[in-house]
C-alpha cells in the first residue's frame, strides 16, 4: 500500500512557532486539494481537546486537524503528557489516561511507547496523502537522543524532510539555527531542507544580510515569517500567556501553577475583552469578571491560591456582587469541600473550598472525557435559560449540589447520555461548570460580554469572530514565503 508523503516541522526550542507553522501548512495543503492530516508523536501540555469518541489529545493537534478540515482523532497525538508537578506527569496514550509517572521513569520507559507512535503514524499515512508532523522541543538535545520518540526518529521512520524553525524575537537566531544543525548527525542534517526565521518584526530588508549568512553557512534556503499578534491558532500550552489588549470588559483569570485549558478564554480576548492573568491578590484590582480556570492538580492549586491571599480577595469581590466563574477545577474550588479519599492528587484527605457555591466534590481515579451539547438550566451572568452550546469535559471527580441550582443539562457524545452540570449561586452572580470551550459559542460569548458591560453602564459591541478561524494563518504563510517552493523542496508536489 502506498503511504502518504510527510513533511516535518521541527524547532530550535519550545515555543518558537512549530505549532503555528504546522497549522498553516495543514490549511494551505487542504486548500490546494490534498487530503492532509497532522501528527505529533508526543506532546507535553495542559491544553487538551476531546475527540468525538471521547479521546483526549493535545489542543494543538485538534486545531491542526480543524485547519485541515478533518475530524481530530487519537492517532494524531498518540502520547500526551500532562504535568502534575515539576517531577511528575499524567500519561495519556491513544487518548486514554494510563496513570501518573515520575519524569525520570517516563524518560527511561519512553522506548516502550515507540510501537504506539509508529502504528499511529502508519495508520494516518494509509488514509491521507500528506501528513504534517510536528516535532517536540528541539531535535538537538544530546542527552535525550537515545530515547527520542518525537523528533528525528519520527522523521527517519516517515522518511520525512524537515523544516527547521527558529524564533528571532528571543534573540540569537544564528546560534539557534546553525547551532542546531551543527549538533545533528550527518544523516539527521541531510533531512533538513529549509530554515524558517519566525516572528520577525519591522523592515524585512534589514535582515537581508542575515538571510545571506544563514544561507551561506547552512547551504539551505531561508524563509522569513513576520510577527503577527494573533493568528487565531489556539495556544499549545501556557508557556506565554497573552497580555490584555482589548477595550471591553476586564476579565481576571487566576493563573495557578497547573492551570489547564487556558485556551478557553482566547475567544473572549478575540472578541475584545481585556483578559488578564493574575497571580497575586494585588493584581486582581476591580475586574468585571473573576475566573477560576481548569486545574490539573486542584488541591495543590487551591493551596497555592490561599497562600497568596487570592481566596480572601475573590471572596471579597464576590460579596460585592462581582460576577465569578469556575471552570472544571475552578468549579471544584468554588464549592464547600474538596474530598480526595483515594489520594488521586497526593495524600488522601479533604480541603475546605472557597464556599461560594453550595456543592461538594469527590475526586475519583476515573477520568471523564466527553464532547457535550448543553442547554442552560438557570439564568446567570446574563445567560438565558435554554441557551444552547457545544463544549467538552475533561475532569476527574464528581460534584454534588447541596441545594444549588444546576447550571446546565448536557448530552454526552457518543451515546447521548444526559447529565446535569455545574451550579449557580442564589444571587446568580457565581457560576461553576465542567464544560470547557463555552466561549467558542458565539451567542453565549456575546451574551456574557454584553451583560458585563451593562453592569458597569458601558456600551460595548463585541467583535465578531471569523467563521473560518484558520483562514488567517493560511493566508499569513502564503503572503510571507514562497510556499510551493518550500513544499517542492520537501518533495510535496502534484
Residue 100 has pLDDT above 90, yes or no: no
Rounded Cα–Cα distance for residues 96 and 435 (Å): 19
Q: Estimate the crossing angle of helix 59-67 against helix 18-31, to 10 degrees.
A: 20
- Give the model confidence (pLDDT) of 217-258 as tens digits: 999 999 999 999 888 888 766 556 767 777 899 999 999 999
Determine the pLDDT at residue 235. 75
Determine the pLDDT at residue 109. 76
Residue 490 has pLDDT above 80, yes or no: yes
Catalytic residue among 6, 328, 380, 490: 328
Where is pLDDT greater, at 105 or 361? 361
Residue 299 has pLDDT above 80, yes or no: yes
Q: What percent of the chain has pLDDT over 90?
A: 89
Where is pLDDT greater, at 238 or 206? 206
The residues, ordered by sequence, that sit 6+ positions from 112 with a Cβ below 8 Å of its Cβ are none
Catalytic residue among 106, 223, 258, 436: 436
Is residue 272 within 8 A of residue 436, CB to CB? The reply is no
Rounded Cα–Cα distance for residues 84 and 100 (Å): 8
Whose CA is closest to 143, among 181, 191, 108, 113? Answer: 108
Determine the pLDDT at residue 97. 94
Whose CA is closest to 472, among 167, 168, 234? Answer: 234
Rounded Cα–Cα distance for residues 210 and 172 (Å): 12
- Alpha carbons within 13 angstroms on the beta-carbon side of residue 82 total 29
Bond prior to 227 in cis (omega within 30° of 0): no
Q: Chain centroid to CA 258: how far?
A: 13
Residue 41 has pLDDT above 60, yes or no: yes
451 pLDDT band, cuts 50/70/90, is: very high
Whose CA is closest to 61, among 49, 52, 53, 44? Answer: 49
Same CATH fold, 250-455 and 5-232+471-489?
Answer: yes
3-state SS class at 292: strand
Reading the block at residue 47, the C-alpha cell is 491544553
| Mean of all residue pLDDT scores within the chain | 94
Question: In the chain, where are the structural domains located?
Answer: 5-232+471-489, 250-455
Q: Kindly tell me the burial class for residue 14, based on how many C-beta atoms sit within 10 Å of its own C-beta (0-12, 13-18, 19 or more).
A: middle
Residue 154 has pLDDT above 60, yes or no: yes
Determine the pLDDT at residue 111. 82
Reading the block at residue 451, the C-alpha cell is 451583560
For residues 93-111, average pLDDT: 84
For residues 91-97, average pLDDT: 95
**What kind of fold does domain 250-455 have according to CATH?**
Rossmann fold (3.40.50)
For residues 318-324, average pLDDT: 97
CATH class of 5-232+471-489: alpha beta
Catalytic site includes residue 436: yes
Determine the pLDDT at residue 237. 65
- Give the model confidence (pLDDT) of 383-419 as tens digits: 999 999 999 999 999 999 999 999 999 999 988 999 9
Determine the pLDDT at residue 318. 97
User: Among 44-48, 105-109, 225-229, 297-301, whose mean pLDDT is lowest?
Assistant: 105-109
- Give the model confidence (pLDDT) of 128-139 as tens digits: 999 999 999 999
Amino acid at each position: 500500500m502506498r503511504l502518504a508523503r510527510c513533511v516535518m516541522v521541527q524547532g530550535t526550542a519550545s515555543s518558537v512557532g512549530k505549532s503555528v507553522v504546522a497549522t498553516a501548512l495543514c490549511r494551505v495543503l487542504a486548500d490546494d486539494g490534498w487530503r492532509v492530516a497532522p501528527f505529533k508523536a508526543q506532546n507535553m501540555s495542559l491544553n487538551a481537546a476531546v475527540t468525538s469518541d471521547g479521546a483526549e489529545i493535545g489542543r494543538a493537534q485538534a486545531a491542526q486537524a480543524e485547519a485541515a478540515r478533518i475530524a481530530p482523532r487519537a492517532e494524531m497525538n498518540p502520547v500526551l503528557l500532562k504535568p502534575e508537578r515539576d517531577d511528575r506527569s499524567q500519561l495519556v496514550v491513544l487518548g486514554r489516561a494510563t496513570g501518573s509517572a515520575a519524569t525520570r521513569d517516563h524518560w527511561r520507559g519512553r522506548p516502550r511507547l515507540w510501537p504506539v507512535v509508529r502504528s499511529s503514524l502508519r495508520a494516518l499515512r494509509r488514509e491521507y496523502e500528506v501528513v504534517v508532523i510536528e516535532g517536540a522541543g528541539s531535535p538537538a538535545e544530546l542527552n535525550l537522543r537515545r530515547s527520542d520518540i518525537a523528533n528525528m526518529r519520527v522523521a527517519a521512520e516517515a522518511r520525512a524532510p524537515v523544516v527547521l524553525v527558529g524564533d528571532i524575537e528571543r534573540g540569537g537566531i544564528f546560534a539557534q539555527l546553525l547551532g542546531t544543525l551543527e549538533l545533528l548527525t550527518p544523516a539527521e542534517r541531510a533531512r533538513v531542507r529549509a530554515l524558517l526565521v519566525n516572528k520577525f518584526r519591522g523592515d524585512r530588508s534589514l535582515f537581508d544580510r542575515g538571510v545571506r549568512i544563514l544561507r551561506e553557512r547552512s547551504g539551505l534556503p531561508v524563509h522569513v515569517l513576520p510577527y503577527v499578534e494573533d493568528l487565531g491558532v489556539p495556544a499549545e500550552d501556557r508557556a506565554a500567556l497573552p497580555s490584555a489588549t482589548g477595550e471591553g470588559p476586564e476579565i481576571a483569570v487566576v493563573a495557578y501553577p497547573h492551570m489547564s485549558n487556558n485556551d478557553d478564554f482566547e475567544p473572549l480576548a478575540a472578541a475584545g475583552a481585556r483578559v488578564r492573568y493574575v497571580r497575586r491578590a494585588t493584581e486582581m484590582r476591580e475586574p468585571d469578571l473573576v475566573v477560576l480556570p481548569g486545574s490539573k492538580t486542584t488541591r495543590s492549586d487551591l493551596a497555592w491560591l490561599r497562600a497568596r491571599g487570592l481566596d480572601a480577595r475573590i471572596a471579597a469581590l464576590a460579596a460585592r456582587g462581582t460576577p465569578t466563574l469556575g471552570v472544571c477545577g475552578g468549579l471544584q474550588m468554588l464549592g464547600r469541600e474538596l474530598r480526595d479519599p483515594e489520594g488521586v492528587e497526593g495524600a488522601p484527605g479533604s480541603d475546605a473550598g472557597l464556599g461560594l457555591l453550595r456543592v461538594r466534590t469527590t475526586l475519583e481515579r476515573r477520568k471523564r472525557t466527553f464532547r457535550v451539547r448543553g442547554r442552560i438550566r438557570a439564568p446567570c451572568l446574563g445567560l438565558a435559560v435554554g441557551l444552547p452550546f457545544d463544549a467538552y469535559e475533561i475532569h476527574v471527580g464528581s460534584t454534588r449540589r447541596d441545594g444549588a441550582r444546576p447550571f446546565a443539562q448536557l448530552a454526552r457524545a457518543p451515546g447521548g447520555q444526559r447529565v446535569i452540570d455545574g451550579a449557580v449561586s442564589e444571587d446568580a452572580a457565581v457560576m461553576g461548570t465542567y464544560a470547557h470551550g463555552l466561549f467558542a459559542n458565539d451567542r453565549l460569548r456575546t451574551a456574557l460580554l454584553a451583560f458585563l458591560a451593562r453592569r458597569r453602564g458601558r456600551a460595548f459591541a463585541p467583535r465578531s469572530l471569523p467563521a473560518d478561524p484558520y483562514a488567517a494563518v493560511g493566508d499569513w504563510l502564503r503572503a510571507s514565503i514562497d510556499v510551493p517552493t518550500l513544499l517542492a523542496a520537501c518533495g510535496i508536489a502534484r
